[in-house]
C-alpha cells in the first residue's frame, strides 16, 4: 500500500469523520430540504431515517474500510467477486459530481466572508438580502470564489496535511456550535419565532401519510448527504483505523454531532423566514444566506459575527470537501500509481471545469444535486448494504465485534436490519428518487432548455 497515512491522534478519526459529515449539508442544504419537505413532517422522517438507516449504514462503510485498509474501489475488489468488484467506480463518479457544485456553494460562503471586511452585512430587509444573494450566487463572483475554494482544497489534499485538518476541526466544531446557539437565542426573540417553531417542530401526521412518496426520497437523500454516506468516504476514513476502536460508539458520536448541528440551524433560519413573512416552501438554495445577512445586519457586532460565521462554515466545507476529493485521489494513487500531487491536480482541474456551469446558472445546481441526492448516494448505499448483508455477513459481523467488549446479539440484529428492512426502504427511496428526477428533467430542466 503506497504511503498510507494513519490518524495523528486517537481522536483524529472521530474529528476527521465529524469534519467530513458536518458541512454544507447541515448548514446550507438542511434548511431548504426542510422547506421543500414542508417543515416538521420532513424533520421527523429525516430523524427516523438517520436513526434507522443512517446508523446501520455508517457501520456498513466502517467495517468494509477497516477490514480491507484500502480505498473504496480497492476495498470492493478485495472483498468482492464478480460484479461486486465494480461498485467502487460508482463512488468515483458520484465524488466528481458532488465536488463540482459543493465547491461553488462553498465559494458563496467565502464570498460572504470577504463581504464582512468590505461593505459588511448592512442589509436589513428581505428584499435587499435576496438581491445580494442573487448577485453573489451566479456570474463572475461565483466563478472566482469557486476557483479559490477549489485551490484551497487542492493544496490541503495535495500536500496531505492531515494534522492541519485535525487541528482545524478541533477548533471549528465547537465554534460552529457556539455561534449557532447564540444565533438561535437571538432568533428566539423575533416576531416570527413561535410560528417558526410550530412549523419546524409539530409534525402533521396527515402530511406524512399523504406525501410519503416525496418525503421519503428527500429525507433519504438529505440523510446520506449530511452523513457523508453512499460514496465510500467512511470506507476510506475507516481504512486508516486501528482495530481497538468501538465502531458503533464512534458512529453514534459522529451522527450525534452532525444531526445536532443540523437541528440547530433550523432554530436559526426559520424564525427569520417567518419574521420576513416569506413562504418557507419557496425558500431555496439561498435561504441560509438571506436570513443570516439580515441577522448580521441588525444585531450588535453583526459584522464581526458574520465574518466568524461565514469563515467557520467555509472551513467546515473545506473539511468535508477534502473527504470527497480524498476518495478520488486515493483511488488514482492506488490503482494508477500516480503520485499524490499529479493525481490531485488532474482531479481538481476536471472538477473545477465541471463546476463552471453551476456558477453561471442555478439550474445546474438542481441538475447535479438532484442526481446526487435522489439517485447516486442512495444507489451507492443500497449496493453496499446488499454486499455486506448478503455477500460478506460473517466477515462483517466479525469486524464489527472488534473493539466492542460485548457485542452479544447486536451484531445479528444489525445484519438482519441490513439484509431486509434497510434494503427495502432503500429500494423504495431509490425508485421514488428516480421518478422525481425524471420529473425534474422533463419539466423544469426541459423548460429551461427550451427557453435557451
Ligand atoms: N457530509 C458533507 C456535508 O454535509 C458533505 C459530504 C462530504 C458528502 N463527503 C460526502 C456527501 C460524501 C456525500 C458523500 O456537507
- 102, 324 in Cβ contact below 8 A? yes
pLDDT tens-place values along the chain, 452 residues long? 344 566 666 677 888 898 899 999 999 999 989 999 989 999 999 999 999 999 999 999 999 999 988 888 888 888 888 888 888 889 999 999 999 999 999 999 999 999 999 988 877 788 888 899 999 999 999 999 999 999 999 988 887 766 666 677 777 778 888 888 988 998 999 899 999 999 999 998 998 999 999 999 999 999 999 999 999 999 988 988 877 889 999 999 999 999 999 999 999 989 988 887 777 877 788 988 988 888 888 877 889 888 988 988 998 899 899 889 988 888 888 788 888 889 999 999 999 999 999 999 999 999 999 999 999 999 999 999 999 999 999 999 999 999 888 888 889 999 999 999 999 999 999 999 999 999 999 999 999 999 98
Residue whose CA lies nearest to ligand 1 atom number 10: 228
Question: Would residue 3 count as lying in a domain?
Answer: no
- Domain hosting 78: range is 10-450
Of 152, 162, 129, 133, whose CA–CA distance to 8 is shortest?
Answer: 162
Looking at ligand 1, which residue's alpha carbon is closest to its atom 12?
228
Instruction: Ligand 1 pocket test: pick from 223, 233, 322, 378 the residue with the most ligand atoms within 8 Å of its Cβ.
Output: 233
Dihedral (Cα; 189, 195, 199, 205), 10-degree rounding: 130
CB atoms within 10 A of CB 276: 19
How far is Cα 121 from Cα 126, in angstroms, rounded to an integer?
12
Q: How many CB atoms within 10 Å of residue 339?
A: 13
User: Ligand 1 centroid vs 181 CA: distance in angstroms?
Assistant: 23
Q: How many CB atoms lie within 10 A of CB 263?
A: 19
Q: What is the CA radius of gyration of the chain?
A: 21
In a domain, 328, yes or no: yes
Q: Record the pTM.
A: 0.93
E-state strands within 174-303: none
Distances in whole angstroms, Cα of residue 333 to Cα of each of 70, 180, 192, 321 = 11, 39, 52, 18
Q: 190 C-alpha to center of ligand 1: Å?
A: 32
Q: How far is the CA of 28 from the centre of ligand 1 (A)?
A: 12
Q: Tell me whether residue 310 is in a domain.
A: yes
In a domain, 5, yes or no: no
Residue 66 lies in a domain: yes
The answer as to whether 289 is a domain residue is: yes
Tally of structural domains, the chain: 1
The protein residue whose alpha carbon is closest to atom 4 in ligand 1 is 25
Which set of grid coordinates corresponds to residue 129?
438580502
Look-up of cell digits 469486524 = 399
CA of 127 to the centre of ligand 1 (A): 31
Go through 139-166 and write b for each residue having 16 or more CB atoms within 10 A of its CB, e for each that does not.
Answer: eebbbebbbbbbebbbebbbebebeebb
Phi, psi of 278 (to 5 degrees): -90, 160
Rounded to whole angstroms, the Cα distance separating 373 from 94 reads: 10
pLDDT of residue 1: 36
Rounded CA-CA distance 349/341 in Å is: 12
Q: Phi/psi zone of residue 245: left (φ > 0), alpha (ψ -120 to 50 degrees), beta?
A: beta
Q: What confidence score (pLDDT) does residue 103 get? A: 98
Task: Please report the pLDDT score of residue 170 as a whole number.
Answer: 76
**Considering the domain boundaries, does residue 31 fall inside one?**
yes
Ligand 1 nearest-atom number relative to CA 224: 13
Cα gap 197→307, rounded to integer Å: 27
Q: Please check whether residue 96 is in contact with residue 354, taking contact to mean a CB–CB distance below 8 angstroms.
A: yes
Q: pLDDT value at position 2?
A: 42
Show the ligand 1 pocket: residues with CB < 6 angstroms.
20-21, 23-26, 98, 225-226, 228, 230-231, 233, 320, 323-324, 377
CATH for 70? 1.20.1740.10
CA distance 391 to 427: 18
Q: How far is the CA of 26 from the centre of ligand 1 (A)?
A: 9
- The rounded Å distance from CA 320 to ligand 1 centre is 6
Burial of 129 (0-12, 13-18, 19+ CB in 10 A): buried
Cell triple for 422: 434497510
171 is a domain residue: yes
Q: What are the φ/ψ torsions at residue 190 (nearest 5 degrees)? A: -80, 160
Amino acid at each position: 500500500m503506497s504511503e498510507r497515512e494513519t490518524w495523528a491522534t486517537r481522536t483524529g478519526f472521530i474529528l476527521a469523520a465529524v469534519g467530513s459529515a458536518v458541512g454544507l449539508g447541515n448548514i446550507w442544504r438542511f434548511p431548504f430540504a426542510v422547506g421543500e419537505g414542508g417543515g416538521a413532517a420532513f424533520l421527523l422522517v429525516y430523524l427516523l431515517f438517520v436513526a434507522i438507516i443512517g446508523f446501520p449504514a455508517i457501520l456498513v462503510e466502517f467495517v468494509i474500510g477497516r477490514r480491507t485498509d484500502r480505498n473504496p474501489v480497492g476495498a470492493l475488489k478485495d472483498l468482492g467477486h464478480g460484479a461486486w468488484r465494480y461498485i467502487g467506480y460508482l463512488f468515483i463518479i458520484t465524488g466528481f459530481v458532488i465536488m463540482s457544485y459543493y465547491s461553488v456553494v462553498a465559494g458563496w460562503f467565502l464570498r460572504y466572508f470577504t463581504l464582512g471586511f468590505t461593505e459588511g452585512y448592512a442589509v436589513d430587509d428581505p428584499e435587499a438580502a435576496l438581491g445580494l444573494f442573487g448577485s453573489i450566487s451566479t456570474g463572475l463572483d461565483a466563478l472566482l470564489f469557486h476557483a479559490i475554494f477549489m485551490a484551497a482544497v487542492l493544496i490541503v489534499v495535495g500536500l496531505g496535511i492531515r494534522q492541519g485538518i485535525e487541528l482545524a476541526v478541533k477548533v471549528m466544531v465547537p465554534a460552529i456550535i457556539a455561534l449557532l446557539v447564540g444565533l438561535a437565542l437571538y432568533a428566539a426573540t423575533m416576531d416570527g419565532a413561535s410560528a417558526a417553531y410550530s412549523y419546524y417542530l409539530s409534525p402533521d401526521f396527515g402530511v406524512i401519510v399523504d406525501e410519503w412518496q416525496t418525503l421519503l426520497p428527500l429525507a433519504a437523500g438529505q440523510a446520506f448527504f449530511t452523513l457523508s454516506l453512499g460514496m465510500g468516504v467512511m470506507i476510506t476514513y475507516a481504512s486508516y483505523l486501528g482495530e481497538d476502536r468501538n465502531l458503533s460508539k464512534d458512529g453514534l458520536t459522529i451522527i450525534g454531532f452532525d444531526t445536532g448541528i443540523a437541528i440547530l440551524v433550523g432554530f436559526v433560519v426559520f424564525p427569520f423566514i417567518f419574521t420576513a413573512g416569506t413562504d418557507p416552501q419557496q425558500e431555496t438554495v439561498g435561504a441560509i444566506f438571506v436570513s443570516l445577512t439580515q441577522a448580521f445586519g441588525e444585531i450588535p457586532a453583526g459584522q464581526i459575527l458574520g465574518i466568524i460565521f461565514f469563515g467557520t462554515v467555509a472551513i467546515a466545507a473545506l473539511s468535508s470537501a477534502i473527504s470527497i476529493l480524498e476518495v478520488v485521489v486515493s483511488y488514482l494513487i492506488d490503482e494508477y500509481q500516480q503520485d499524490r500531487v499529479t493525481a490531485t491536480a488532474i482531479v481538481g482541474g476536471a472538477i473545477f471545469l465541471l463546476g463552471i456551469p453551476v456558477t453561471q446558472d442555478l439550474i445546474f445546481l438542481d441538475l447535479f444535486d438532484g442526481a446526487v441526492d435522489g439517485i447516486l448516494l442512495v444507489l451507492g448505499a443500497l449496493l453496499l448494504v446488499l454486499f455486506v448483508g448478503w455477500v460478506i455477513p460473517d466477515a462483517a459481523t466479525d469486524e464489527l465485534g472488534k473493539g466492542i467488549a460485548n457485542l452479544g446479539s447486536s451484531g445479528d440484529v444489525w445484519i438482519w436490519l441490513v439484509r431486509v428492512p434497510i434494503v427495502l426502504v432503500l429500494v423504495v427511496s431509490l425508485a421514488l428518487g428516480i421518478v422525481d428526477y425524471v420529473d425534474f428533467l422533463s419539466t423544469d430542466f426541459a423548460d429551461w432548455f427550451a427557453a435557451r
